[in-house]
Amino acid sequence: MLRVLQRSSRMVAPAARNFSSEAGNNKLVITEVDDKTGYATVTLNRPPVNSLSLELLRAISQTLDDLQNNKSRGMILTSGHAPAGGCLLSLCCEYRVMCPNYTIGLNETQLGIVAPTWFQASLRNTISRRESELALTLGKMYTTDEALKVGMIDEIAENKEKALEQAVAFLNRFRKISPMARAMTKQALRSKDIVELEDNRSQDIDLFVYAVNQPAVQKGLEVYLESLKKKAQK
């Protein structure tokens, strides 16, 4: 199933209806389904910047499970800045359409922490290994044009409406493809990374907890959060 991850203002697809989901009750995630195509648009709704709290992550997971159980298809739409976890959500999608004047990337090293191995695997599956190494060690945030050049996104759209149209066009390419064959192919392509994720979960957690509790890292996070507050006040 393709997924829409919309990180800025809400977009409503033509002839859309609300999708009832257990996760939707808390309004952190808004889901609408286009009755003509059956495609779903999932909108994150945690102002001001959709920071990924545990509650929001659970709501996203529940929504995607509900859509899959209802055999709804989704669209990929990346709009707004997408650092760290926001970048990962985009990398988990099959197709990424991004508007100009935004940035995307795994910037963990800028904060003194290490991106988990499954973050790294998702990036390596999207761009070249060499570019992944540079991106991860530098904590680089890519502009829209830079992201397209290295393959982190697939298309640029002049606005959100155009991005939605381009995402629909991508989905329509699979109308004659067997959903089962497509799903099994994707599982095979990702099977090694899935196994490594399961096997190294405890190690990843231990490494992150160790790093994030270092005094220098705590100081860096404090400075970063203060900078975000100042931006939000402008």
Residue 26's SS3 state is: helix
DSSP one-letter code for 158: S
221-141-8 Cα angle (round to 5): 85
DSSP one-letter code for 78: B
Residues 97 and 166: beta-carbon distance below 8 Å: yes
Helix axes 117-124, 179-199, angle to 10 degrees: 140
pLDDT for the residue numbered 135: 98
pLDDT for the residue numbered 160: 85
**The one-letter amino acid at 62:** Q
Q: What is the pLDDT of residues 20-56, one digit of tens each?
A: 555 554 688 888 888 888 888 888 888 877 888 899 8
C-alpha 126/C-alpha 84 separation (Å) is 15
Residues 1 and 67: beta-carbon distance below 8 Å: yes
pLDDT for the residue numbered 75: 62
> Please, how many CA atoms are within 13 Å of residue 44, restricted to the half-sphere of its CB?
28
Residue 96's SS3 state is: coil
DSSP one-letter code for 48: T
Q: Mean pLDDT for each 10-residue chunk of the chain (234 residues)? A: 35 47 67 85 82 88 85 61 91 91 94 90 96 98 97 93 89 91 92 92 88 89 80 68
C-alpha 51/C-alpha 225 separation (Å) is 11
C-alpha 180/C-alpha 129 separation (Å) is 30
DSSP one-letter code for 39: E
